[in-house]
Chains A and B, each alone.
Chain A
Amino acid sequence: MSDASARTGSQPWLLSFPSIALFLGLLVVPLALTAILSFNVFDSMAGTQDEFTADNYIEILTDRYYFELFLRTALMSGGVTLLCILVGVPETIILSRMQPRYQGIFFVMILGPLLISVVVRTLGWSILLGREGLINRALVELGLIQTPLQLMYSMTGVVIALTHVMLPFMVIAVWSTLQKLDGQVADAARSLGAGSFTTFRRVILPQLLPGILSGSIIVFTLSASAFATPALIGGRRVKVVTTSIYDEFLSTMNWPLGAAIAILLLIGIACVVMGSNRIIERKFKQVFS
């Protein structure tokens, strides 16, 4: 693209001006205001004050309650990520072995739920997970348990429902790596006498690792920032970072503290993304170059 128009100075800026205006006015400014808000003083009688303090951050970083809140959120996201790997990776490999016709059908079935509101999917899980729900009935019928399990308003329930919400992202990530994979390498390993498990562990899995890692980053960060599923399945009993931000803003009305938690969530997620990207770059430099 080295023709005359590629040199035109102002042309690209004219074209992108509307989008830049929209993003400066409605994204950069509100985020900056939120960062400022997180340093405001909050008075339980008079509300948010114009004075500045670091107390909101000090409270979050020293109080055990918030430490447990962030830890619980990280464990929940970690659990969902692990389940997505254990379930999503084998399924994607199974899909890759099917005829294109079947692949198409199952892809739409697996990825389609991404386009359905997360509230709807969560409602489905709350019907399934209830004390009288289908899962508990089936487990009691089968004689596996005596009394119904408490799945609603429990961490187990939240992790199950979130795994359902996040699985498509893992399938997408692993699938795109799998497409680049040369099937002949696996065939070569087999023909040289490697068993199917050895072939998987020594040949296929290492090649899939970049996809699994990028899928894990997506699943982890989206789980840590998920709201509707932990709020509806976990309720008040399983509080995570997002639901406590919601409570600070809309129940307690302590906006500066809520803003500080939100900023810390943003920073935490940015650290996870950048940290894992660095690991991926270091580990797979030799694989890619």
Chain B
Amino acid sequence: MKDKGLGSNGIGSLIFHTLFMIFIIAPLAVIILVSFSDKGYISMPFDGVSLRWYRAILDAPELMNALWISIWIGLGAATVASLVAVPAAIAIARYRFAGRDALMALLLSPLMIPHVVLGVAFLRFFSLMGWSGSFMALLLVHALIVVPFSLRLTLGAIIGLSRDAELAARSLGASRWVAFRRILLPLILPGVAGGWVLSFIQSFDEVTMTVFIATPGMTTLPVALYHRVSMLTDPVTTSVSAIMIVGTMVMMFILDRLVGIDRVLIGKK
């Protein structure tokens, strides 16, 4: 591909591209616009600008409660997922053993199984075990479904890494643990941290599985938002959504600094 630059696209291509970008941005832009409305209902366009729907979030205790649960679940799930995925990634990247492919397939399987099916399975399991409404149970299944993201980014960081420094440390008498903590971990840290942030985002955004196992007192923000949107149309949903959009943009910026956003999203290299 030689002649790069916007110019090598014809005028028709640029019109197509513009319409495409409008299509992509429109639903997000409209939420941010409507969230500043001063009307008591969702309307577009509107005349008066106000922050009343941002103040209204504070008066919606179930949304605030769900926000905190989502944050704690996300932090916990990302951490648990990293704790189990990093050693597994080292095993997969550094050893050849029978069942290695099966292990990889098992750990990536939450990506293949529809989240509705997972939600149903966890609902059944929790009701048999008496775990309904349990914070720990919700945290652990969130950890399970974000393991693939942590695994993939950690694997991406380990594969292609030279073992020389590690072997040198070992031959100089460092224990396995010291070699891991002082040599390997610092080298793969950007990948591990990127996996952690991506896992947090995926847990924070999850709705399809969680909608089955959430209980009135133990609900995550997307599920609370889902129920509110499906029942009534008050603009509080738009101000909460606008905050979630801005929050995600901040996380994307962090991810970009850690591992490069294209690498996270396209999964290359």
Residues in A lying within 8 Å of B, measured CB to CB = 1, 3, 5-6, 8-9, 11-13, 15-16, 18-20, 22-23, 26-27, 29-31, 33-34, 37, 87, 90-91, 94-100, 102, 104, 106-128, 132-134, 161, 164, 167-168, 172, 175-176, 179, 183, 187, 221, 224-228, 231-232, 241-242, 245-246, 249-250, 255, 258-259, 262-263, 265-266, 269, 273
User: Any chain A CB within 8 A of the CB of B155?
Assistant: no
Task: Give me the 10 closest cross-chain CB pairs, A-B, nearest first.
Answer: A124-B27, A225-B114, A183-B1, A30-B125, A30-B121, A12-B91, A15-B91, A15-B87, A12-B95, A19-B84
Chain B residues near A226: list those with CB within 8 A: 208
Contact assessment for B91 and A16 in the assembled complex, using a CB-CB cutoff below 8 Å: yes
Count of chain B residues with a beta carbon within 8 Å of a chain A beta carbon: 95
Chain B residues near A118: list those with CB within 8 A: 205, 207, 222
* Shortest Cβ distance from residue B106 to the other chain A in the assembled complex, whole angstroms: 6
Chain B residues near A108: list those with CB within 8 A: 252, 256, 261
Contact assessment for B96 and A121 in the assembled complex, using a CB-CB cutoff below 8 Å: no
Chain A residues near B8: list those with CB within 8 A: 97
Contact assessment for A119 and B117 in the assembled complex, using a CB-CB cutoff below 8 Å: no
Contact assessment for B107 and A119 in the assembled complex, using a CB-CB cutoff below 8 Å: no
Q: Which of these binds chain A: B28-36, B48-56, B57-65, B181-189?
A: B28-36
CA distance A245 to B115 in the complex (A): 12
Contact assessment for B6 and A125 in the assembled complex, using a CB-CB cutoff below 8 Å: no
CA distance A19 to B252 in the complex (A): 27
Within 8 A of A (CB), among B1-18: 1-2, 4-6, 8-9, 13-14, 16-17
Contact assessment for B208 and A102 in the assembled complex, using a CB-CB cutoff below 8 Å: no
Q: Which of A18, A124, A225, A231 gathers most chain B CB within 10 Å?
A: A124
In the complex, which residue of chain A has the Cβ closest to the Cβ of B70?
A117
* CB contact under 8 A between A33 and B121, given known A18-B83, A19-B147, A132-B43: yes
User: Any chain A CB within 8 A of the CB of B172?
Assistant: no
CA distance A174 to B9 in the complex (A): 18
Contact assessment for A114 and B265 in the assembled complex, using a CB-CB cutoff below 8 Å: yes
Chain B residues near A90: list those with CB within 8 A: 13, 16
Contact assessment for B20 and A232 in the assembled complex, using a CB-CB cutoff below 8 Å: no
* Shortest Cβ distance from residue A94 to the other chain B in the assembled complex, whole angstroms: 5
CA distance A232 to B207 in the complex (A): 12
* CB contact under 8 A between A94 and B30, given known A16-B88, A116-B205, A245-B116: no
In the complex, which residue of chain A has the Cβ closest to the Cβ of B1?
A183
Q: Give 1 or 0 for each of B113-144: 1 = CB within 8 Å of chain A CB.
A: 11111101111110010000000000011011
* Shortest Cβ distance from residue B8 to the other chain A in the assembled complex, whole angstroms: 5
* Shortest Cβ distance from residue A226 to the other chain B in the assembled complex, whole angstroms: 8
User: Any chain A CB within 8 A of the CB of B211?
Assistant: yes
In the complex, which residue of chain B has the Cβ closest to the Cβ of A2?
B96
Among candidates B1, B17, B163, B265, residue contacting A94 with C-beta atoms closer than 8 Å: B17
User: Any chain A CB within 8 A of the CB of B245?
Assistant: yes
In the complex, which residue of chain A has the Cβ closest to the Cβ of B83?
A18
Q: Which of B90, B124, B128, B266 gathers most chain A CB within 10 Å?
A: B124
Chain A residues near B118: list those with CB within 8 A: 27, 30
User: Any chain A CB within 8 A of the CB of B72?
Assistant: no
User: Any chain A CB within 8 A of the CB of B23?
Assistant: yes
* Shortest Cβ distance from residue A210 to the other chain B in the assembled complex, whole angstroms: 16
CA distance A95 to B167 in the complex (A): 44
11 contacts between A and B (CB under 8 A): A13-B91, A16-B87, A19-B84, A26-B144, A27-B121, A31-B121, A117-B221, A120-B241, A231-B230, A242-B208, A273-B112
Q: Which of B85, B241, B256 gathers most chain A CB within 10 Å?
A: B241
Among candidates A13, A19, A23, A33, residue contacting B125 with C-beta atoms closer than 8 Å: A33
* CB contact under 8 A between A246 and B212, given known A33-B124, A266-B114: yes
* CB contact under 8 A between A20 and B9, given known A26-B141, A117-B244, A164-B23: no
Chain B residues near A273: list those with CB within 8 A: 112
Contact assessment for B125 and A107 in the assembled complex, using a CB-CB cutoff below 8 Å: no
Contact assessment for A115 and B121 in the assembled complex, using a CB-CB cutoff below 8 Å: no
CA distance A266 to B116 in the complex (A): 9
Contact assessment for B103 and A16 in the assembled complex, using a CB-CB cutoff below 8 Å: yes
Within 8 A of A (CB), among B55-114: 80, 83-85, 87-88, 90-92, 94-97, 100, 103, 106-107, 109-110, 112-114
Among candidates B28, B147, B267, residue contacting A22 with C-beta atoms closer than 8 Å: B147
Q: Which of A6, A99, A104, A120 gathers most chain B CB within 10 Å?
A: A120
Q: Give 1 or 0 for each of B247-269: 1 = CB within 8 Å of chain A CB.
A: 01101100010000110011110
Chain A residues near B92: list those with CB within 8 A: 12, 16
